[in-house]
Structure formats: structure tokens, C-alpha cells
A and B are shown apart, each in its own frame.
Chain A
Amino acid sequence: MVFPTLNFLIFYLCIWPTSWLLLVARRHQLHKLAIIAGSYIFYAAWSTRFTLLLLASVCLNWTAGWLIVRSADPSRRKLVVGIGVALNLALLGYFKYWDFFIGNLDGLLRSVGLQGEMPYWEIVLPVGISFFTFQGISYIVDLYRGDLDRPRPFVDVMLFISFFPHLVAGPIVRASAFLPQLERPPSPNRVFVSLGICLIGWGVFKKAVVANWLSVDLVDPVFRTPLEYGGADILLAIYGYAIQIYCDFSAYSDIAIGIAALLGYRFQRNFNQPYRAQSLQDFWRRWHMSLSSWLRDYLYIPLGGSRKGKARTTVNLLATMVIGGLWHGAAWHYVLWGAMHGGGLALERATGLDRTAAPGRWRQTLRVVLVFHFVCLCWVFFRAKDMTAAGDMLGQLADWSATPQLVTPFLAGLVVLGLLMQATPANLLQWLDRAYHALSPWAVGVMGGLLLLMIEALGGDGSAPFIYFQF
């Protein structure tokens, strides 16, 4: 079940009134159970058998949390949290990395002349496992650190990990940010309706119009067979992918935040105009913020962060970003993508570029352009199906003899539109909120309906799946 589809609309239009009616009837516990039931129906639409895996993850983390708080001995608490995190990672490792590990081991053994039957299991990746595993870890680590004051009831932990808006593609919600929201029922008279509908509408536009057209008509054909295209097509496809992945993933996040807001729950924002970043550090504070802050707080800082000297800081940055790359997928091109970002961040830190603001508008603009192009270079390795394909893309970039096949005003316009999205005014939401309150809900409904019809008419015929579902 994908967000901007009729199936999801029907699902949401059932779960939304049910959850609020139960709150109006002062049935907070039933309200939570209704959302949990909805979340499992939502997940079962992908895979019925993996709902048991999701339930197992909930049980594991709830039990670990309970044991952590029950243990008075600090070393025992540390042991329990260590085992809990290890079991979460083992679950993720088995489903996501087993065949990658075996494949590399096989290659290594063959290179030294050893051959044998290797246990390739062709394991199906459960959708969303990377996201709900990280959220489970967040619950037990937040309890261990004291960011959560006590273990939460099973129903609350279940709702936190399984909540359908963030379940399959994030944003990664922190236990310490979400679970306190379950203490009191959301008020039916204090809902951020304008925020919800604006984020949903904007997200549907970015996905259905910009990301879909770029994906189907430009990025997919060029990345599939780069040797058939010249420099102009390749360059536009690289820019196109940068915009596509932004419009695709930020759209999912926006819709998720919007549908949670309409149910009375709050997620933190996940994107903040990332392509206007003046440094890579700035980029990671704007791109997939829930993952980058998770990696910072649960990996980089526990590794020592920047507190143990320059050499160790470099190692920590590289390790964090390589693991971040590997989190996206079990393939070497993701590892290289992470290493490039880690190397770039380490270089920035060594030269002090991450701390000093560029003087003057031109130098700031130059930095934005340089950071954007470095990020685009990294995206080539992220998007290409393997290292050879990435090499082909970059090799063809130098060949400007071929006639452009896919460079059209429409596709170039979509890329420009994606870039202009990085410069929308900071108070746009407040402006839209004032406009919303100046109209009646019926009038907003008419405008919303017309907007959805326009998006439907403008959207491409082909529909690309959300990129982050594969992670």
C-alpha cells in the first residue's frame, strides 16, 4: 500500500475517523489499538508473514527495555543494552546483509583458489526493516541513557515501532520524542490541519509530477544504459537524479509527517532545502535529518565523536558515513558513497570549512555550487547499479560529440523547478496557515480537490516506486 494511491486513501479515510471517534468517546487505549491494527493491516498489504517479524522486533525491544530498567547493576544494564542492540542488528544483518557477506566471502575464497558450495539463501528483504530496527534501538538506548524515564507499556512500544506513517520509509522517529506523546490523548480541537494538508499536497506534487517524470523519462533510461548517451544527457540525468531522489524521499517524509499530524501526532522534519547547503556538514543537517542525527547520536558520539583528537575524528566520521552507506543497501557502491561523504566531511573538518561561514554572497554561492556538485558526484555511485555502471556514467560525461536525446525543455524545467524548491521562503507554511484560517474548510476542500486533479493530470503515466522502499 503506497501513500498517493486510492488504496491508501480508502485505508486512511477509515482509520482517521475511527481513531478520532474513539478519542471523543474517551477510549484512549482503544484509539491506540485501532491505530496499531491499522498499522498491521498497512504492513500486511506488503507482506503478511513479515508482520510476525515486526511483532518480534516489538517484543524484543519491549523486553530489553523492561530488563534494562529492572537491572540495578550498571554493568548488567550495559550488558542488556549491548545484547538488545546486537539482536536488533543481527535481525537486520540476516535479512539485509547475509547474501552480500556470502557473495564477498565466495569471491575472496575463489581469488585464493578455494571453491565450494556457499549458502546463498536469496533472502527476501522485509520492507522497512532498516527503519523499524533503528527505532527499536532508539527505544532501548534512550531508556539506558535516561532520555526516557521509564519503560513504556507494550501497547505504546508497539504503536511507536509499528505506527504506519513512518513504518516503511521513515522518518526515523526517536523513542524519547514520540513515546511521551502517547501519555495523553491528542486533543480533537487542537490539530495542525493546515500543516497536514499542505505537507500532503506538496508531497504528492513532488512525487507524482517531478520525481515520476524525471525517473521514467530521464534518469532510469540513462542510468540503465549510459554508454548509449552523450555528455549532455548524462549531465542532465545526474542533475535529474539529484532532484528526483530529493522530490521522492522528501515527498514520502512530508506525506508521513502530514498524515501523522492529522492523527494528532508529531514527527520532526526530515528535509530542509538540502541543496542550499554551504558545506557537507550543513548538507547532512538538512538531508534525511532523522537518519543523520540518529547516526550522530547513536554511533558517531558513542565512538568518541570529535573528542579524541583529529585522527580519531577522521576515523569516526569515515566509519559513521560508511555504515550510513551500508544502511542504504548491501552493495559496494553504497559503501563508496558513504566513504566519499565521510572523506568529504573529514576534509572539511581538517580545513575548518565546516565552521567558517564564507564571507560575501558570491563566495557563499560558490560554496553552495561546489557542495551541490560534490553531492551529485556521490549520487552517481549511489544510483548506479554497480561500480562499472558508475564508471561508465562518469566516462560518458566527457563525450560531448553525441547528439542529446533526452535534453528537453520540459525535463530541464523540472530540474530547475527542483532547484527552485531549495529557495522557497522560510515562512511559507505560516503564510499558508493564515490563508487556511481565512477560508472555510469546505472552500479548502474544493481547492484541495482541484489541486489533486491538477496533479493527477500533470503526473506521468508511468509510476516509479518510492526509492527508499528498497532500503
Chain B
Amino acid sequence: MVKQEPECELGTEELEQGLRPAAAVDFAKIAITAVALLLVFNSVALVDWTRQSRPGPVIAALGQPAERWHAAMERLGPAGLFERLHALARSFS
């Protein structure tokens, strides 16, 4: 005897109860903004990533621009701001 398969309507799962769905494209806007902020303030992470990744053509091509980008962010201020925030958090812990 075959049982009825569970319904897959939206909002039926416990975690989704009471939540309103949105358009997928909203996440694209959120991701673009968040990544831009990370690139501006945490530009050092990009440099660390190119230095720590396995060498290859992509990493080789990205290495120099990442260094230049980080240097620019340091000169303009946001990278230094994040460094100070990081140091503050370290002193607190």
C-alpha cells in the first residue's frame, strides 16, 4: 500500500511558519551590498586569501590587484578602521 507523500507547500515546515517568502533577486541585492562592504573594510582578507590559496593562474592574476586594492583601502581609511575594531575586540577578549 503506497502512502501519500508529504505535501511540499511553502510555509509548512516548522522553521518557515509565519514567515513571508520574497523574491530570490532580493538576496542578490543583499549579497552585492554585503560583499562590497567586506571588500572595502576587510580588504586584508582578500590579500590573505590570495597568499594562502594554492598557487594557480587565477590566484596569480588576482594577487597584484588584491594588494593594490588593500593599499588603496589603507590609504583611504576603511581598512585601518577595521584593524582598530579588530584590535579593540582583541583587547576586550
Contact = CB atoms under 8 A, between A and B. Distances in A.
Interface string B1-24: 111011010100111111111111
Given A189-B23, A449-B35, A6 B49 contact: yes
Interface stretch (A112-120, A264-272, A295-303, A344-352): A264-272
Interface string B36-53: 111001100110010001
B24 A188 contact: yes
A149 B36 contact: no
B85 interface: yes
Nearest to A23: B24
Contact of B14 (A13, A194, A268, A450): A268
B28 interface: yes
Contacts of B5: 147-149, 176, 180
23 contacts: A6-B45, A16-B31, A17-B28, A146-B1, A146-B2, A176-B5, A180-B6, A189-B24, A191-B24, A193-B23, A197-B30, A257-B15, A266-B16, A430-B17, A430-B18, A436-B22, A441-B26, A444-B33, A445-B32, A448-B30, A449-B34, A449-B35, A453-B41
A368 to B, nearest CB: 22
B27 A442 contact: no
A7 B53 CA distance: 9
B37 A453 contact: yes
A436 B82 CA distance: 26
Contact of B16 (A146, A195, A441): A195
Contacts of A417: none
A196 interface: yes
Given A193-B24, A453-B41, A456-B45, A445 B34 contact: yes
B8 A181 contact: yes
B16 A192 contact: yes
B29 interface: yes
A444 B20 contact: no
Contacts of A177: 6
A163 to B, nearest CB: 15
B6, B20, B30, B88: residue with the most chain A Cβ atoms closer than 10 Å: B30
A437 interface: yes
Given A410-B92, A453-B82, A453-B85, A195 B31 contact: no
Interface of B: 1-3, 5-6, 8, 10, 13-38, 41-42, 45-46, 49, 53, 82, 85-86, 88-89, 92-93
Given A195-B19, A196-B27, A269-B13, 11 more contacts: A147-B3, A149-B2, A189-B24, A191-B21, A437-B20, A445-B30, A446-B33, A449-B37, A456-B42, A457-B85, A457-B89
A190 B10 contact: yes
B89 to A, nearest CB: 5
B7 to A, nearest CB: 8
Contact of B18 (A146, A433, A448): A433
Interface in A439-461: 441-442, 444-446, 448-450, 452-454, 456-458, 460
A433 B20 contact: yes
A111 to B, nearest CB: 47
How many residues of A sit at the interface, in one of the four size bands? 35 or more
Which secondary structure dominates chain A's binding surface?
A: helix
Interface majority SS (helix, strand, loop, mixed), chain B: helix
B52 to A, nearest CB: 9
Nearest to B58: A10
B28 A458 contact: no
Interface of A: 6-7, 9, 13, 16-17, 20, 145-149, 176-177, 180-181, 183-184, 188-197, 213, 257, 262, 264, 266, 268-269, 410, 427, 429-430, 433, 436-437, 441-442, 444-446, 448-450, 452-454, 456-458, 460
A146 B82 contact: no
Contacts of B6: 176-177, 180
Nearest to B32: A445
Nearest to B40: A449
B30 A193 contact: yes
Nearest to B29: A441
A381 B7 CA distance: 41
A460 B89 CA distance: 9
Nearest to A434: B20
B27 A429 contact: no
B15 A269 contact: yes
Given A266-B16, A269-B15, A450-B37, A194 B89 contact: no
